[in-house]
Amino acid sequence: MPMNQSLTKKYSGKVRDIYDAGDDRVLMVASDRMSAFDVVMNEPVPDKGRVLTAMSAFWFEHLRDIAPSHLISTRSADFPASARSRDYEGRSMLCRVADMLPIECIVRGYLAGSAWKEYSATGSTHGLQLPAGLLESCQLPEPVFTPSTKAALGHDENISFDRAVALIGGPTVERARDIAIGLYMRAAEWAIERGIIIADTKFEFGFIDGELAVCDEVLTPDSSRFWPADDWHPGTTPPSFDKQPLRDYLEGLGWDKQPPPPSLPPEIIDATRRRYIDGYERITGRSFADWPGVTK
Ligand SMILES: Nc1ncnc2c1ncn2[C@@H]1O[C@H](COP(=O)(O)OP(=O)(O)O)[C@@H](O)[C@H]1O
Ligand SMILES: [Mg+2]
């Protein structure tokens, strides 16, 4: 990842780094780091950070009538002088700093992951009663808003709507829910026409100038479950659009899913890179080669 003395790093996440850009702005830089089973792999996936940035930027623009976002620009000419280099180009978003809600706003259109686990054990998810007899990966009668806490350490915890109300107040939860469902429905409809199911996704919102804005990354394979529509069969776990070659490889090794991760052969990295690019091109109808900063 680029290192630059004159930019102050505020935060380093699993796959992104956030720099102070002055004037209540941050530069969010997506690296090529890739995690699987919550462990970050040793090898980067070339261009992954650029693909995810391009995808987020597409969605922010495409969904802007539903709610404002934190994005100011992805053009490096707009970045602080010390970030106007090729290292940052295409993988960075200059954003307004928001006063972030302490919850993750998850919307689920299909029954998968932790929601499926909880449902198969209890018949409900996030405290929400669902119809009986649903199969894993089935489409829900309508998308549901299922918030979780943002755990500083360890795994986020699924919470009920009422618990979210207790944390941030009724009007804010209702606004967050309405925006989240609106974004999800529009995006899922768009994606399915292009052969991709968005099973679920996580949004993060924050207040900017007193208004709730869409922050973080949006509707990327890192924040969502994307499934190839052709491989969706209720009752089974569909392959993830982006990470399936990697997961299959790791499962085949019998690795215990604890750090350190095993090293990855180039063909697995390359297959993963191609999946990310394919997903971007299918969803946006744009050629990734036209996005700035692409590896030639
Ligand atoms: N506009 C914003 N203003 C302030 N914080 C933000 C903004 N957008 C996203 N964030 C926060 O930045 C952090 C990004 O961290 P992330 O790269 O997701 O790392 P990880 O989730 O692995 O800790 C999250 O805590 C997110 O809530
Ligand atoms: Mg995060």
pLDDT, one tens digit per residue, over 41-51 is 999 999 999 99
Distance from C-alpha of 221 to C-alpha of 198, rounded to nearest angstrom: 9
Residues with Cβ within 6 A of ligand 1? 11, 13-14, 16, 18, 26, 70, 95-98, 100, 204, 206, 215-216
Q: Which ligand is nearest to the CA of 202?
A: 2
Q: CA 227, 32, 14: angle at the middle one, nearest 5?
A: 85
User: 99 - beta bridge partners?
Assistant: 207
Q: What is the mean pLDDT of residues 87-109?
A: 97
Tell me: the pLDDT tens digits for 185-217? 999 999 999 999 999 999 999 999 999 999 999
Tell me: the pLDDT tens digits for 243-261? 999 999 999 999 999 999 9
Which pLDDT value is given to residue 127? 85
**Preceding omega of 260 cis (within 30 degrees of 0):** yes
Give nearest CA residue, ligand 1 atom 8. Answer: 216
First to last CA, the chain: 18
Hey, CA dihedral for 92, 77, 98, 144, is it positive or negative? negative
Q: What is the mean pLDDT of residues 229-233?
A: 97
Residue 294's pLDDT band (cuts 50, 70, 90): confident
Could you tell me the pTM of the whole model? 0.94
- Higher pLDDT: 293 or 243? It is 243
Which pLDDT value is given to residue 63? 98
Residue 61's pLDDT band (cuts 50, 70, 90): very high
Q: Which ligand is nearest to the CA of 12?
A: 1
